[in-house]
Chains A and B, each alone.
Chain A
Amino acid sequence: MSKIAHRIFISILVVIVIVTLITLLYKGISYYKVGIEERFYHPDHSLLKPSGILGHGMGIIGSLFMIIGVSIYMVRKRYRLLSRLGLLKYWLEFHIFLCTLGPILILFHTAFKFGGLVAISFWSMVAVFLSGVIGRFIYIQIPRSIEGRELSLNEVREMKSDVADIVKKSYNLDEESYSILADSIKKKVELYHKYAIVRYIRKYFDDRKTIKTVKASLKKNNLKKDEYKKILALVKNDIKLNRRIERLDTMQNLFKYWHVVHSPFALVMLIIMIIHVAVTIAFGYRWIF
């Protein structure tokens, strides 16, 4: 898949999610705003209630989305037989899509009424979703091969090119600018704080400040716009690599722990969901079937 095709693919997925979310909100906002004890008398109740034709449908389809999203990603990841079937990155993106759209549908299936046993499933789903978002953040912090395999620290360091050298050879910069640029891509020791999150935030703002300084110095050299962008991208990438190299160990550890959280939530969600579906079917609620 080319870069453009990938972008279109991602865009379509995002649009589907956003359109679905807006449509469902627009359609049901008046109903969902009504208190639980009043909903029965709302004209959209028969449509949007959890057992309604739309509400129930959203539950079923949302559940299927999630089951499919989890299953195919798990299968693709765990079975070597399928390892050549598309990039794992795309599968992950599709997994994220289905497991984003699924919970949205489930959210509207609940009609924002969270109670009973199935609430465990719901909140587990929420937890899985949120942990998925966090996992995604951690995931991208760990450099990977083009197939998605994690790179070791050495492999990452090898990826680093001598940006200062490239810039000096290719572009005509004054000494001051070059000095600033060379300084910005040097590895910096993070300011200590006992909480990692504070450290990361400080580092984030510090990097921004560095990039700002680089931008200012580059502008003095009257570079072409294209040149300016390229140099800046090199600098940013180097800073990012620096940051990832620095945090690689931490992120790899975090990612291990993340799995411990993400999967059990998904399992709980699945088990309770099965119970919920079983009870529903037992009491005769079969949607359109």
Chain B
Amino acid sequence: MHGKSGISFGVFLTLMLLFFNTTAQISPGDLSNPHSHLEGISNCTQCHVLGSKVASEKCLACHTEINLQKGYHSSTDVKGKQCFDCHNDHHGKNFQLIRLDVKTFNHNLTGFSLSIPHSKKECKDCHNAKSISDQKIKAKNYTYMGLNRECLSCHEDYHQKTLSSTCLNCHNPDAFKPATKFNHANAKFQLVGKHANVECLKCHKVDVKDGKRFQEFQGVAHTNCTNCHKDPHQNQFGQNCRQCHSEESFHAIKGKNFDHSKTNFNLVDKHLSVDCKSCHKTKLTDPIKHDRCTDCHTDYHNNQFVKNNISPDCSQCHSTKGFNLYTFTIEQHNIGPFPLLGAHAPVTCNQCHKKQEKWSFKDIGKNCKDCHTDYHNNQFSKNGVSPDCSQCHVVKGFNFVTYTIEQHNKSLFPLLGAHMATACNECHKKQEKWSFKDIGNNCKDCHTDIHQTYIPSKYYPNANCKICHNESQWEDVSFDHSKTNFKLTGAHLKRNCKECHFKKDVGGNEQQKFTGLPSNCSSCHTDNHFKQFEKNGITNCTECHSTDNWNDSKFDHNTAAFKLDGKHINVPCIKCHKPQQEGSQTYVKYKLKTFTCESCHS
């Protein structure tokens, strides 16, 4: 180097050193304000280790507040890193040694997971000097360290040291209220029944303590119900509420335990099973009327028994054993306007009093038809009005009829002759049901016309039986036989019709015959003469006999072949006309073949 160059180098170097104030200028940059006290060449090794950059041990030697065993510095995010990886320096006085992206920072890594309310807070709401107990850390301008995980390190103790400081035993980190983790079952007072639904405030009153709002949870008296509840009975039934009441409901009374006889209304029979609320509509101790049944019960009968504006008490007919078990007797009924007589006595009440859904006792009518249906279906109705059943029937029984023959004779069909002795049903119950109207006045309406095909209708027009018969005696026939071709005379007038008109057939059955009968005697009478007088196949009886008398013979022996004269006139007939045996029958032989004397005389 030339002399001039050497001089200029010396001058230049000096100027440069002065200009850059290099006494402490091997530093790569200013330290941040928190480390500003470490500025200067003599302090390099406070942090740096010769030959091996910056050692975390040196950092931790100063920063004793850093605990690598807990908190964020113990997390996987930090483990294995050197301090300067995150907390660098020599980047200017205002360099931020700690910079967290609070929006993306995973607070879980600190070992303290942020619950929902915590996550909505600003960092400084918790990370402030007020919440830091360590004085050394507290002295720092700003740090995320030094916070205690205990709730009370940040939060005010609402319970003012009356409860455990372990808030999370009862509270959920997500919300202070309600204390969802609190289990009242672990408390001295178990919440049973309705107590479980009672708002906490009802028992745990809010007050002011030390000038702050305070809710009492500790030391709440609970030995007696009246510690919290007001005694509505004003000690009428003693202090042991549980004798009657349960925690399930104040109003659900333990019926077994309450002695109702202590009251003015002793419960018996059905009343024993009635729910208290049925009568005690409001409070159990509120006075309730109980003189009349209708004080509790509604009048089922809707004042049907009111007389002079006064309704009799239900107990006159009913008892506490049951509404259906009534005490009203037949005797009581008989005092009333409709005594129960005859067949009415055994009739059950409902048959008359419960014709519809509801029982009815008033204005149900006294007439038979009010209860009974008209069996005769208005057959007796006249001008639209039916006579009352009692005109013919009695309460003794429907079949007991008071209708007389005399009454019947006033009808369109008086009962005469044999009709009087005829039972009613013969004419009025020809079918299943009794019938009284339009059953007909003609004989054939009731009687069968047995001659219908045997006697021509001209002899009894309109099948009028009365032309021959009468109501008194059926057999007493009054037919004018002269209307026929065979006028009855003599003994014929005395004969029964049947003798000529009814004959038994081969089978022995009686067969009537009124038409086509021959008028000769032999058609009815037997020829006792064994055809001795038959002429041309016909025997004319009337030549000798009349209808008046069979024996009164018109025979004149003188007109015969052998004229009687002399002694013959007085000779008995049998002397000449001897009986002859013909088979099993005998007859007198009138027709003699010879009239010689010796034929009769020996």
Chain A positions near chain B (C-beta within 8 angstroms)? 35-37, 39-41, 50, 113, 115-120, 123-124, 259-261, 263-265, 267-268, 271, 275-276, 279, 282-285
A41 — which chain B residues lie within 8 A by C-beta? 99
CB distance from B291 to the nearest CB of A (A): 94
CB atoms of A275 and B26 under 8 A apart? yes
Known contacts A120-B16, A260-B5, A264-B12, A115 near B50 by CB under 8 Å: no
Can you list 8 contacts pairing A with B, beta carbon distance less than 8 Å?
Answer: A40-B91, A41-B99, A119-B25, A260-B5, A265-B12, A268-B9, A284-B51, A284-B52
| A260, B53: Cβ atoms closer than 8 Å | no
B460 close to A (CB within 8 Å):
no
Q: Is the CB of A260 within 8 A of B4?
A: yes
Q: Does B562 contact A (CB under 8 A)?
A: no
Please report the C-alpha to C-alpha distance between residue A41 and residue B88 in the assembled complex, in whole angstroms: 10
B228 within 8 A of A: no
Closest to A115 in B: B29
Q: Residues of A contacting B30 with CB < 8 Å?
A: 115
The 0/1 profile, CB within 8 Å of A marked 1, for residues 20-38 of chain B is 1010011111100000000
How far apart are B381's CB and chain A's nearest CB, in angstroms?
119
CB within 8 Å for A116 and B28 given contacts A260-B8, A282-B50: yes
B442 CB to nearest chain A CB (Å)? 135
Asked whether A261 and B51 contact (CB < 8 A) given A41-B99, A116-B28, the answer is no
CB-defined contacts of B26 to chain A, threshold 8 Å: 116-118, 275-276, 279
Contacts of B88 in A (CB 8 A): 40
| B16 near A123: Cβ-Cβ < 8 Å | yes
A124 to B16, CA, bound (A): 9
Shortest CB distance A89–B (Å): 24
Cα(A276)–Cα(B16), bound, Å: 15
A260 and B2 within 8 A (CB): yes
Output the nearest chain B residue to A257 by Cβ-Cβ distance: B4
Known contacts being A279-B26, A282-B50, is A37 close to B20, with CB within 8 Å? no
A-side contacts of B4, CB under 8 Å: 260
User: How many residues on B have C-beta within 8 angstroms of the other chain's C-beta atoms?
Assistant: 32
Cβ of B25 and Cβ of A268 under 8 Å apart?
A: no
Q: Counting CB contacts under 8 A, is B92 at the interface?
A: yes
Closest Cβ of chain B: how far from A122's Cβ, in Å? Answer: 10
Cβ–Cβ contact A268 & B5, under 8 A: no
B2 touches A36 (CB 8 A): no
With contact pairs A50-B28, A115-B25 given, residues A268 and B16 touching in the complex (Cβ less than 8 Å): yes
Selected contact of B48 from candidates A37, A39, A115, A283, CB within 8 Å: A283
The chain A residue sitting closest to B101, CB to CB, is A41
B325 beta carbon closer than 8 Å to chain A: no
Q: Name the B residues within 8 Å of A285 (CB-CB).
A: 53
Contact check, A268 vs B53: say whether CB atoms are below 8 A apart: no
3 A-B pairs with least C-beta separation: A264-B9, A116-B25, A284-B53
> How distant is B33 from chain A, measured CB to nearest CB, in Å?
11
Chain B nearest Cβ from A88, distance in angstroms: 20
B455 at the interface (CB under 8 A from A): no
CA distance A118 to B26 in the complex (A): 7
| B96: Cβ under 8 A from any A Cβ | yes
**Which residues of the other chain, A, contact B2 by a CB distance below 8 angstroms?**
259-260
A284: chain B residues within 8 A (beta carbon) = 48-53
Closest Cβ–Cβ distance, residue A49 to chain B (whole Å): 9
> In whole angstroms, how far apart are the Cα atoms of A261 and B95 in the complex?
39
Judge if B17 is at the interface, Cβ distance under 8 Å.
yes
Cβ distance B105 to chain A, nearest Cβ, rounded Å: 14
Q: How far is the CB of B159 from chain A (nearest CB, A)?
A: 44
Q: Is B477 an interface residue (CB 8 A)?
A: no
A37-B16 in contact (CB<8A): no
User: Does the CB pair A36–B92 fall under 8 Å?
Assistant: yes
B53 touches A283 (CB 8 A): yes
Contacts of A264 in B (CB 8 A): 1, 5, 8-9, 12-13
Is B44 located at the chain interface by the 8 A CB criterion? yes
Q: B91: which A residues are within 8 A, CB to CB?
A: 36-37, 39-40
CA distance A119 to B25 in the complex (A): 9
Closest residue of chain A to B23, judged by CB?
A: A117
B308 contacts A by Cβ under 8 Å? no
CB–CB A283/B25 < 8 A? no
Q: Which residues of B contact A115 (CB under 8 A)?
A: 25, 27-30
B251–chain A nearest beta-carbon distance, Å: 71
Query: Which chain B residue lies CB-closest to A35?
Result: B92
Distance A113 CA – B4 CA, assembled complex (angstroms) = 33
For the complex formed, measure the closest distance between the CB of A53 and the CB atoms of chain B, giving whole angstroms. Answer: 14
- 0 or 1 for each of B485-501: is its CB under 8 Å from A? (1 = yes): 00000000000000000
Q: Which residues of B contact A271 (CB under 8 A)?
A: 13
Identify the interface centre among A268, A282, A283: most chain B CB within 10 Å of its CB. Answer: A283
Q: Please tell me if the beta carbons of B29 and A113 are within 8 angstroms of each other in the complex.
A: yes
How many whole Å from A80's CB to the nearest CB in chain B?
A: 19
In the complex with contacts A117-B26, A282-B50, A37-B94 CB distance below 8 A:
yes
Evaluate contact between B25 and A117: CB separation under 8 angstroms.
yes
**Residue of B with least CB distance to A261:** B8
Of all chain B residues, the one with the shortest Cβ separation from A46 is B85
How many angstroms between the C-alpha atoms of A80 and B110 in the bound complex? 72
Q: B residues within 8 A CB of A279?
A: 26
Residue of B nearest to A266 (CB): B9
Contact B96–A37 (Cβ < 8 Å): yes
> Which residue on A lies nearest to B3, using beta carbons?
A260
CA distance A175 to B167 in the complex (A): 114
Measured between beta carbons, the chain B residues less than 8 angstroms from A276 are 26
| Given A116-B28, A282-B51, 10 other A-B residues pairs in contact with their CB atoms under 8 A | A36-B29, A36-B95, A37-B95, A115-B27, A117-B26, A118-B28, A267-B1, A268-B13, A279-B26, A284-B49
Min C-beta distance of B224 to chain A, whole Å: 68
Q: Quote the shortest CB–CB distance from A113 to chain B (angstroms).
A: 7
- Establish whether residues B49 and A268, one from each chain, have CB atoms under 8 Å apart when the complex forms: no
Q: Is the CB of A117 within 8 A of B53?
A: no
Residues on B with C-beta less than 8 A from A35 are 92
A41 to chain B: closest residue by CB? B99
A117 to B17, CA, bound (A): 8
Contact A268 B27 (CB under 8 A): no
